[in-house]
Amino acid sequence: MPVPDFPQDWDFYEGAAESGRAFVTLNLGLKGHVPLKSHPVRVQLRVKMQQPRADGLRSPEEAPALFAFEDKLVGALTNSCDALFAARVVAYGYSEFFFYVPLAQRDCGAQAERLMGGAAPYHLQWFDEDDPDWTEYAALYPNRYAVQTIANRRLQQQLEENGDLLHVPRDVDHGAVFPTKERALEAAQKLGAAGFRVGEPSAPSKDGAGWFLEFHKVERCDEGHPDRFVFEVLDLITPLDGDYDGWGSMLQRAQA
């Protein structure tokens, strides 16, 4: 059975690590399409880095070799085992790869080095487990804070590509939706106390879902500023069941 053709929407976020740092990269495009009954087995394979950074991540010197190894591994398992590559985790000096495979292909981890035609200078460690509900993919999927870091990074790139001077302070517009008018009003009070200029809640339209609240604040949009101000918003609205609708701003370009 060929691997289903799913959207390829790969991105990353920084996860939690007991020591050092951890980065999770996964195909966000799989959400809404999984779990797949045809691929109920999760196969995890990992390699130990030869020159990891002190924080456990890839070093610039070794990164090209690790990327080439990953391409070779993914190609071999996709072509030979109908494997579906779902995620990669880099932490503690290891690169770990997460695949989902048909039941008949659950031994592909044990066969991976042979299917690749050799893995030198690395050696693959592998593990497989029944995971018909794709619980590990769900566990690796970013939470609302991590989802927003991805969205922030993409929006920063889009603004920059359009000539925006991200370091220039500007009015940043935000929106959020709440299940009741009372929750929206309470959020408005908390946001106002935090320095946001807040509008009046808008009642749901006939087909709408919830009360919409618009609010604004002057901010810079370079480096980690968007993560900081969005996390502040999420901390305020999440206890009130607020659904953040994102942020935006007018372009700030150099004067001609």
Within a 10 A sphere around the Cβ of 126, how many other Cβ atoms? 17
Same domain? 42 vs 156: no
CATH number of domain containing 108: 3.30.70.240
Contact 57, 132 (CB under 8 A): no
Tell me whether residue 1 is in a domain. Answer: no
Ranges of residues in the chain whose predicted pLDDT is under 50: 1
Contact 115, 99 (CB under 8 A): no
pTM: 0.91
Long-range CB contacts (< 8 A, 24+ apart) of 65-68?
Answer: 66/95
User: Strands 243-249 and 211-219, how do they pair?
Assistant: unpaired
Query: Given this model, what pLDDT does residue 6 score?
Result: 86
Query: Given this model, what pLDDT does residue 208 score?
Result: 74
Nearest alpha-carbon partner for 249 in 162, 170, 194, 167: 170
Domain limit, last residue, from 107, 140, 173: 140
Domain limit, last residue, from 109, 140, 171: 140
Q: How far is CA 148 from CA 10, 25, 165, 227, in A?
A: 15, 15, 21, 8
CATH number of domain containing 171: 3.30.70.970
